[in-house]
Amino acid sequence: GSPGQELRIVLLGLDNAGKTTLLKRLASEEVSTITPTQGFNIKSVHSHGFKLNIWDIGGQRAVRPYWRKYLGSTDLLIYVIDSADQKRFEETGQELAELTEEESLMGVPLLVFANKQDLVTAAPAAEIAEGLSLHSYRDREWQIQACSALSGEGVQDGMNWISKHIM
């Protein structure tokens, strides 16, 4: 965004991907507000000049119309994946594919966090990128970043990519 304007980031992924853990890392003590929205589990955080909206995605066609309105004027999309949960790779890939087809997210830069890399069963980021067909995205900047929200490893590298690409 332009100077003085708050950057709007949405952080999405399946339940249990590690979004809340990551959010705490990204925002650290600077969190000024976390606002759970009534009737729909969305959280908002203001930190370091950005506003971050976060919610679970997947298995919720019924509430999709409600969260769609939070996608408007998004500057950046962060998508979090549990790299150790191979059983849900197809599901999370499908959700991401649908998300990137949302009109309001056209051209919006995408940062994928291949989370939980501290687990021995975690798939490497390159393998996840392959499974998600990230290389076929032509209309947006994208990056995949291996990380552990638990230990913090890789999280700052992801943030560095963000600051290079949109701030």
Interface with ligand GDP, residue 20, by CB under 6 A: yes
Pattern 73-112, ligand GDP, x by CB under 6 A: ----------------------------------------
* Nearest Cα residue to 43 out of 64, 63, 35: 35
Q: Is 37 annotated as a binding residue?
A: yes
149 Cβ partners below 8 Å, 6+ apart?
A: 18, 21, 22, 25, 80, 113, 115, 116, 155
Instruction: Name the residue nearer to ligand GDP (CB basis): 45 or 149.
Output: 149
Residues in 146-165 at the binding interface with ligand GDP, rule: CB under 6 A: 148-150
Catalytic annotation present for 86: no
* Nearest Cα residue to 133 out of 159, 156, 110, 149: 110
Residue 40 has φ and ψ, to the nearest 5°, of -155, 125
Interface with ligand GDP (CB under 6 A) = 13, 15-21, 115-116, 118-119, 148-150
> Residues within the annotated binding site for Mg(2+)?
20, 37
